[in-house]
Amino acid sequence: MIARAGPVAPGADTVPGSASPGTGAASTTPRHVAIIMDGNGRWAQSRGLPRIAGHRAGAEAVRRALQAAADHGVEVLTIYAFSSENWRRSEEEVSDLTALMRFYLERELKTLEKERVRLKLIGDYQAFGPDLVARLEKAVERTASNTRLTLVIALNYGSRAEIAAAARTLAQRALDGQLQVSEIDEQRIAGEMQTRELPPLDLLIRTSGEVRLSNFLLWQAAYAELLFLDIMWPDFDETVFVDALGQYASRQRRFGGR
């Protein structure tokens, strides 16, 4: 399969360029793809089904996306599974989603191991309670040495909270005399992001037809290519993924240059 690039230095988020040589993947293949998996509820509603049926179908789409990302040489797939604002949903929906995550983890851990996928989490996932947290951490531990693909799941993730936490950490370091205020630059801030070990975000996809970021990877998306698709998340499959890669390859990334 794909050869992996070496470790990415902290702060690499700010360094543009998916086309770095020696990654093993063609320069037109995004190294890091993120997806806002939206539209489960509408998918279910249009079929006269309860929202949870849409979330279940959405979990199947995650399997397809993961397989497609691995098969097409993507290094990192980051998926938005639960936002810090999704607690505003009904208690029933939140508990359905939590149960589904537990079920998905239980079922997919073997697949992650077999496919050599490393699991990583971003967001304040501790909020999901000890049982799910223990399962999540077990899956992270068990897959830590896998190198084919990194699957990053954003759970109780909010980009503004991530940026605020980075500001607090750096301010504290300055107060403690470990850092000059003048040394707080883009690289230092990127170094405090939960994505600091990952390659820069190249492509951000949102399904469902909504054209917004909903508090996802605001810092990281500064120079990512954005792709908004009209399909609902449960309809996502390899064909859609390959088409998205094709659209990415046809984009001209300029990073402010000409």
**DSSP secondary structure, 49-104, as one string:** --HHHHHHHHHHHHHHHHHHHHHTT-SEEEEEEEETTGGGS-HHHHHHHHHHHHHH
Question: Which residues make up the interface to ligand IPE (CB under 6 A)?
Answer: 36-42, 80-83, 86, 97, 208, 210, 212, 214, 233
Instruction: Pick between residue 198 and residue 232 the one whose CB is nearest to Mg ion.
Output: 232
Cβ of residue 16: shortest distance to ligand IPE, in angstroms? 26
Choices 36-44, 109-117, 121-129, 138-146 (CB under 5 A): range interacting with Mg ion: 36-44
Alpha-carbon distances, residue 181 vs 65, 171, 184 (angstroms): 42, 8, 6
Of 35-43, 66-74, 146-154, 241-249: span binding Mg ion (CB under 5 A): 35-43
Q: Which of 252, 245, 247, 239 is nearest to 33 (CA)?
A: 245
Considering the candidates 13, 71, 86, 176, report the single residue annotated as catalytic: 86
38 versus 96: smaller Cβ distance to Mg ion: 38
Is 86 among the residues known to form the active site? yes
Cα(211)–Cα(11) distance, integer angstroms: 28
Whose Cβ is closer to ligand IPE: residue 86's or residue 126's?
A: 86
Q: Nearest-CA neighbor of 23 among 5, 9, 10? A: 5
Q: Which does 122 bind (CB under 5 to 8 A by kind): ligand IPE, Mg ion, none?
A: none
DSSP string, 136-149: HHHHHHHTTT--SE
Catalytic residue at 215? no
Q: How many residues bind Mg ion (CB under 5 A)?
A: 1
- Of 8, 31, 32, 38, the one binding Mg ion by CB under 5 A: 38
Q: How far apart are CA 147 and CA 223, in angstroms?
A: 26
Closer of 129 and 209 to Mg ion (Cβ)? 209
Active centre residues (catalytic): 38, 86
List of residues contacting Mg ion (CB under 5 A): 38
